[in-house]
Amino acid sequence: MLMLLIDSGNTRVKVTYLINQFRQTEDLLVLEHDHIDKLHDWCNTLPEVPVRAIGVNVAGEVIAHKIQQALPASCPLQWLVAQAQTLHLKNSYQHPEQLGADRWMGLLGLSEHRQHPELPAMLVSFGTATTVDTIDADNIFMGGLIFPGVMLMRASLHKGTANLPAIDLRKSEVPPAFAHNTEQAILSGIIAAQAGAIVRQWKAVLDKTGHPPTIFVTGGARHGVLPELHRLLNDIAQVKGFDTITLQEIESPVLDGLRIYARAEWNH
């Protein structure tokens, strides 16, 4: 039996599949919203006809409808939402269903990556928006942050002002603390805002739990922020007396979470 797993984000859709609980990681389809129709052709190349699809969608009803239309007629699609509890993961949101389904499944997906589950864990996702979410050692979602992503910050400065240019954000370097030109100042400001928010949240988790959280990062915009984030974390590690602060890159925590959910269903 083949089941599709779908992560429908704000700009792209990721699709993979399971056959009898085993994920075929080499078969990962990534589509921009304008090319969702290609999902139909991809499904025709699969080793079996998919009999079911589960996923999360934060891109709105129009995109959800396009995805459904691209699937085989015999493949029902179920969109999952955040709940008060999903498997071992518990939700502390005042209204659990208001938590983004992608954030929720991403946190569930951390189960595959946490080498020290006795410590809290932070998931930082660099997408259209940057999100910073935390679970404690008891798998309780403590809360999180949402703020404009790297590209949104860049676009807002360029479009919202008369003279600020649209800068190249593909560089992976620690920006100067004292910029000497406008492009450098914008780059430094954006990266400082992103990295600073993450470090602030890391310290908040340490203060609340008494334990340093492991940081997991994902998303295509992470590469420009990571050098500065590493620098800040190394600085705070020295101040706090830690040998190091663990930071791990992961590619698809939402799909990992969907796979965990699907396997749990199969086992029942």
Q: Is 93 annotated as a binding residue?
A: yes
- How many residues comprise the chain? 268
Q: Is 12 annotated as a binding residue?
A: yes
Q: Is 7 annotated as a binding residue?
A: yes
Q: Is 168 annotated as a binding residue?
A: no
Q: Is 8 annotated as a binding residue?
A: yes
Q: Is 17 annotated as a binding residue?
A: no
Partners of residue 5 on adjacent β-strands: 16, 54
Q: Which is catalytic among the residues 27, 41, 102, 207? A: 102
Q: Is 188 annotated as a binding residue?
A: no
Q: Is 163 annotated as a binding residue?
A: no
Q: Is 214 annotated as a binding residue?
A: no
- Select from 229, 11, 215, 9 the least CA-distant residue to 124: 215
Q: Is 13 annotated as a binding residue?
A: yes
* Known catalytic membership, residue 256: no
Largest CA distance in the chain: 61
Q: Is 92 annotated as a binding residue?
A: no
Q: Is 127 annotated as a binding residue?
A: no
Which segments are annotated as binding site?
A: 7-14, 93, 100-103, 128, 182
Which segments are annotated as binding site for ATP?
A: 7-14, 128
Which segments are annotated as binding site for substrate?
A: 93, 100-103, 182
| Residues forming the active site | 102
